Amino acid sequence: MISSCRFLPRVSGLALFLFLVMPYPSLVPARAADPAEIRIGYLHLAESKQQPISLLDEPTDDDGIAGARMAVEDNNGTGRFTNQHFSIDDMRLKPSDDAAAAAKSFIDKGILLIVVDLPPGMVLTAADAGRASGATLFDAGSSDDSLREEDCRANVIHTAPTRSMLADALAQYLAWKRWQRWLLVTGSHPQDALYADALKRAAKRFGATIVEERIFKDTGGARRTDTGIVQTQRQMPVFTQNAPAYDVLVAADESNVFAGYLPYRTWDARPVAGSAGLVPTSWDPAHDSWGAVQMQNRFIKLAHRRMKAIDMQAWTAVRMIGEGATRTQSADPAKIIAYIKSPSFEVAAFKGQKLTLRDWNLQLRQPILLSDGRTVVSVSPQEGYLHQTSELDTLGYDRPETKCKLN
């Protein structure tokens, strides 16, 4: 008798009604004081209209902020027991807007903990504007290494992984596969060159050889044309022909101009990695290990779509604030930040181990997922890459190499 014995249909209508209208009635004992309020600001750009190569990658209106909202819910789940309440104030900027003014308007409202999903220049402007008032930024959106190195700030904590962390994560896996000869294809935009630099550094660190680097020039044009497929099918083999012998094509295309067209279209039968094919990322909608299924389910329930890397990076930032508030039993931003920067800080984020902060540049240490777009193929650091402090420090710039001088 295997029948579907679910609980809900068995509860009487009234009980169910009471349960739904009075969430957690018994869990909040009569308290003298209202919950301590922890307000978090969220600064991001207006929705991008730039079309991605794949229709599946279209930006959504709530990219990132949806992750922050879920973390607020999670924090409030704990807050019921600790008499703390978290909320988020969301502000959207145009690329031409003044990030300093935006940060100040949060500070004027007493909001000193601000999650930002902004380009590197705007992150710095906002950080410097907020510094005197004691505001701390959580950089959830920028993978720029310079923000953690020469341009690091004592009031910017980074939950987004850097390009060098992503590139090292990929290089470790390719080394494990012994795909050590790379054909590097780089886009023609500045951020593509930065990613290519990180990949070149990774190749050197993990013993790969770049047999040739080619630049794919962005000549503009629309992503969507009804018969675009016909041209792409001819263009990509031609672009990749006559390459020296290689094991894997590694693409640096942060601008999403061409990499998505490479798999199955290279002249030689070779796998693609980097900006397409096997992609290093902080999160993937298919990640299902270490309890991640619960996270994915909760996110879909809240946002009615699947969870992206930027959502995870924003979730982690707000959860870090939640951890700070819970552990210090305080709503004081200074105390919360002092805890996050202390050696006792750690946060769980469905990556199979605790995430901690690099004290020399305030970058969150984290395992990096390698996704093929359907499944998580592997998670770096790979076994065997040892480190005296944390194996996670085999990813990205390590303490001895850093150019960062905090304060």
Partner 1 sequence: MQAQLIRRGRIRRWPPLLLSLALTLGATSSAFAYTAYVTNERDNTVSVVDLDKMQTVKTIQVGQRPRGIVISPDGKFLYICAGDDDIVQIVDTKSQQVVGDLPSGPDPELLALNKTGDLLYLSNENDALVTIIDVKERKALAQIPVGVEPEGMGVSPDGKIVVNTSETTNMAHFIDTDKRDVVANVLVDARPRYAEWKSDGSEVWVSAEVGGTVSVIDPVKHVVTKKITFSVPGLRSEAIQPVGIRFTKDGKLAFVALGPANRVAVVNAQTHEVEKYLLVGQRVWQLAFTPDQKYLISTNGVSNDISVIDVADLKVIKSVQVGSFPWGVAISPE
Binding site for partner 1 (CB under 8 A): 1-8, 10-11, 19, 23-24, 26-27, 74, 77-78, 81-82, 291, 294, 297-298, 326-327, 346-348, 352-354, 390-392
Q: Which is nearer to partner 1, 70 or 309 (CB)?
A: 70
Q: Which is nearer to partner 1, 67 or 130 (CB)?
A: 67
By the 8 A CB rule, do 125 and 100 touch? yes
C-alpha span between 315 and 297 (Å, rounded): 14
Pairing of strands 84-93, 272-274: unpaired
Please state the separation of Cα 370 from the chain's center in Å. Answer: 13
Q: Which is nearer to partner 1, 227 or 344 (CB)?
A: 344
Least distance from partner 1 to the Cβ atom of residue 55, Å: 30
First-residue to last-residue Cα distance in the chain: 67
By the 8 A CB rule, do 64 and 141 touch? yes
Q: Which is nearer to partner 1, 56 or 386 (CB)?
A: 386
Give the DSSP per-residue string, 268-328: SS--EEESSSBEEES--TT--STTHHHHHHHHHHHHSSPPPHHHHHHHHHHHHHHHHHHHH
Q: Which is nearer to partner 1, 27 or 56 (CB)?
A: 27
Q: Which is nearer to partner 1, 178 or 387 (CB)?
A: 387
Least distance from partner 1 to the Cβ atom of residue 356, Å: 9
Token readout for 306 is 């699947």
Q: Which is nearer to partner 1, 19 or 264 (CB)?
A: 19
Q: Which is nearer to partner 1, 20 or 245 (CB)?
A: 20
Q: Which is nearer to partner 1, 1 or 56 (CB)?
A: 1
C-alpha span between 236 and 234 (Å, rounded): 6
Residue type, 130: G
Least distance from partner 1 to the Cβ atom of residue 9, Å: 9
Least distance from partner 1 to the Cβ atom of residue 327, Å: 8
Least distance from partner 1 to the Cβ atom of residue 259, Å: 32
Answer whether the bond into residue 25 is a cis peptide, omega within 30°. Answer: no
Residue 282 burial by CB count (10 A; 0-12/13-18/19+): exposed, middle or buried? buried
C-alpha span between 178 and 156 (Å, rounded): 38
Least distance from partner 1 to the Cβ atom of residue 62, Å: 21
Q: Which is nearer to partner 1, 193 or 348 (CB)?
A: 348
Least distance from partner 1 to the Cβ atom of residue 292, Å: 11
Residue type, 260: G
C-alpha span between 333 and 313 (Å, rounded): 20
C-alpha span between 407 and 399 (Å, rounded): 16
Least distance from partner 1 to the Cβ atom of residue 41, Å: 23
Least distance from partner 1 to the Cβ atom of residue 146, Å: 28
C-alpha span between 4 and 12 (Å, rounded): 18
Query: Among residues 56, 113, 70, which one has the least CA distance to residue 314?
Result: 70
Least distance from partner 1 to the Cβ atom of residue 16, Å: 10
